Each structure stands twice: as C-alpha cells, then as structure tokens.
Amino acid sequence: MPIYLTTLLSILTILVVTFPLFFSRIQRHELQKAKAKLDTSESDALLSALSELEDDFQLGRLNKNEYQQQKIRLQRQYLKLKETSENG
C-alpha cells in the first residue's frame, strides 16, 4: 500500500511541475521602436566607463581636473548617441 501511494504521489508531483512547461501559452514581447534603435552595446559601454571613472575618482586614482574632463567627454558622447538614436 505505501509503495502505491508513494508512486501515485510521485507521478502527480511530476505532472503538476511539468504541466506549465508543456501546456502554457508563449507570449511574444516586442521592444518599443525608440528603444530598439538605440545601440545598446555602445551606450552600455559609455555608462560603464562613466561608472568606472566615478570609482577611480572616489578611490583617488584621478585628480579632480582629469575626472571632470573625462566625465564631460563621456557624457557628451552618451548624449550624442542617445540624440542620434532618437532622431533617426
């Protein structure tokens, strides 16, 4: 009797766990056009560079003048990329 009950519970458990894998609808998700046009790899690289620049400045690896110059340069590149992706 316990073997039959264990087997039945095991089968039911497997069915409950695998049911959504085989019998659920797959939904399609699409990016918005404005977001799809943005070159994410380049924008991500610029944002990462800004983050690393901030870390270097906080750790004292850069002086304030170098930090400000590089930050302005990276921000301008990012804004230019974002502007061109929104316009065209």
Q: Are 70 and 53 a contacting pair, CB within 8 Å?
A: yes
- Could you give the number of structural domains in the chain? 1
Rg (alpha carbons) of the chain, rounded to whole number: 26
pLDDT of residue 36: 47
* Higher per-residue confidence, 21 vs 45: 45
Residue 29: pLDDT over 60:
no
Please, what is the average pLDDT of the chain? 81
Question: Alpha-carbon distance 62 to 53, whole Å?
Answer: 8
> In the predicted model, what is the mean pLDDT of residues 61-79?
90
Range of the domain at 11: 2-87
What the block records as the tokens of 50 is: 């800004």
CA dist list (Å): 56 to 25, 31, 48, 71: 48, 34, 12, 12
